[in-house]
Amino acid sequence: MNGETGRRKKNDTFTVRIEDMSEDGSGVGKCDGYIWFIKDAVVGDVVEAKVMKTGKSYGFARLERVLTPSEKRVVPPCPVARQCGGCQLQAMSYEAGLAFKEKKVYENLRRIGGFTDLRFAETDGSVRAAAADGEETESGMIPLYPIMGMDHPWRYRNKAQIPFGSDKNGDIVTGFYAGRTHSIIGHDDCLLGAEENSRILSIIKQYMRENHAAPYDEETHSGLVRHALIRKGFRTGELMVCLVINGRRLPAAERLVSALRALPGMTDISCCVNTDRTNVILGREIISLYGPGYITDYIGSIKYRISPQSFYQVNPVQTEKLYGTALEYADLTGTETVWDLYCGIGTISLFLAQKAGRVYGVEIVPQAVADARENARINGLTNVEFLEGRAEEVLPQQYAQNHIRADVIVVDPPRRGCDTACLETIVEMAPRRVVYVSCDSATLARDLKYLCGHGYELKKVRCCDMFGWTGHVETVCLLSQ
């Protein structure tokens, strides 16, 4: 630090213009060459901020006042948007948020992956006038097609995991953890969640008060009710409630079941036992209180069975767009052998099986594999097989021992990206096409760089907004030899 900036210390206030946005959606401004990250500030704002933490070349500050609002700034409709921190972009217009996400993917692919031929493109392949760097089209460009946004970017989440606690008066409180803390911000109706959630929480809290079921206290590891897991099938209207408890039984559980069953669509009610002193939400044991142990929902024409522990995309409307794009990029004719790595409950696998010759799905979570097999059965798809294990172990083993080839490989890894052993086996198996679905554009760029350094060519890229008002974005890419 130098000059005036170097003399700033914690709790000092200063004025700065926000010139950019960071990966996590914080505003970025500069004073005397020193960089400030300011949560809840929007690019184009002029703000007054308070110093919270400083480093050698950058610091973090808290937004105190917006002196001159950006043209991209909007009033967040959620009353606890700033305290909660779950929606990092709610102070920015939805359209500006989409542009931010595209730009983040674009810059990561160019900076980390080295894909300097990447260009913002229209769906017909022409370069968009609003390309981030102003470059013109040229032969050999890699198109980044327009992000797939939402028509209605509210009430899109089909899953909520809501913590229970006590406020300073000892009353039961539910809501969401403030960013980077385990302090609950009391709020019963997140605008991203299903409308039924608030009614369900009201019923649970009333039951707790009447039956002396205390909320969990992390510090003392006491109390019973830790979280409520709520899921809704958007197409079917089916509802699931799974109460995570610090014990093995609920007092007078039949009273809670009776109250919840009065809600239209209530299909499954259960408890999840989690007596560990941990921040992990779900335990391993599910105790059924009512219903079959699952709900069902559809993505496209494929029906899925979803249990409390299943991974299932939280935004089914956008998932259909994302998986439809993955299927389009796979370009299947009906004869191909396809591997789907990190397949979860078979969401992409079953999409692919509609047009592939044979599909192999690989997943490490045993319950997800069981769900995937059941999902294949209920959809009458016999050309798909699910294997349990780590993708980076199963894929090399099946290739070496059983010589199973691959015409197309689809990967949808966790945020950390693909393991090196997995990438090495993909290269060795040499499928004609690789479709990479990513939830983290930095690890995506790293993995694409590896694949393109070993004989593949990045052909096209498209983003999908699965998590509106947050800094997260999904990306699907096509690579071919």
Structural contact between residues 123 and 440, judged by C-beta atoms closer than 8 angstroms: no
Neighbours of 232 (CB within 10 A): 27
Cα distance between the two ends of the chain: 48
Is 166 strand, coil or helix? Answer: strand
Token representation of residue 450: 């590896």
* Interatomic CA distance for residues 141 and 325, integer angstroms: 20
Query: Residue holding tokens 């803390």?
Result: 181
Catalytic residue list contains 463: no
* Interatomic CA distance for residues 172 and 125, integer angstroms: 55
Q: CB under 8 Å to 49, separation ≥6 — which residues?
A: 13, 14, 15, 16, 29, 36, 38, 41, 61, 62, 63, 64
* Residue-wise DSSP of 203-216: HHHHHHHHHT-PBP
Give the residue among 454, 461, 453 at the shortest CA–CA distance from 436.
461
The amino acid present at 32, given as its one-letter code, is: D
Compute φ and ψ for 131, nearest 5 degrees. Answer: -55, 140
Token representation of residue 179: 């960013």
Going by the DSSP 8-state scheme, the letter that residue 112 receives in this structure is T
| ∠ CA 350-355-359, rounded to 5° | 50
For residue 120, list its beta bridge partners: 144
Sheet with 266-273: list strands edge to edge: 184-186, 172-177, 159-166, 225-232, 239-245, 266-273, 285-290
**What residue ranges in 291-357 does DSSP mark as E strands?**
295-299, 302-306, 337-341
| ∠ CA 464-163-221, rounded to 5° | 135
* Interatomic CA distance for residues 233 and 296, integer angstroms: 6
Which one of 439, 452, 463, 477 is the catalytic residue?
439
Give the residue among 92, 140, 146 at the shortest CA–CA distance from 121.
146
Structural contact between residues 406 and 338, judged by C-beta atoms closer than 8 angstroms: yes
* Residue-wise DSSP of 345-407: TTHHHHHHHTT-SEEEEEES-HHHHHHHHHHHHHTT--SEEEEES-HHHHHHHHHHHH----S
Please give the positions annotated as active site: 439
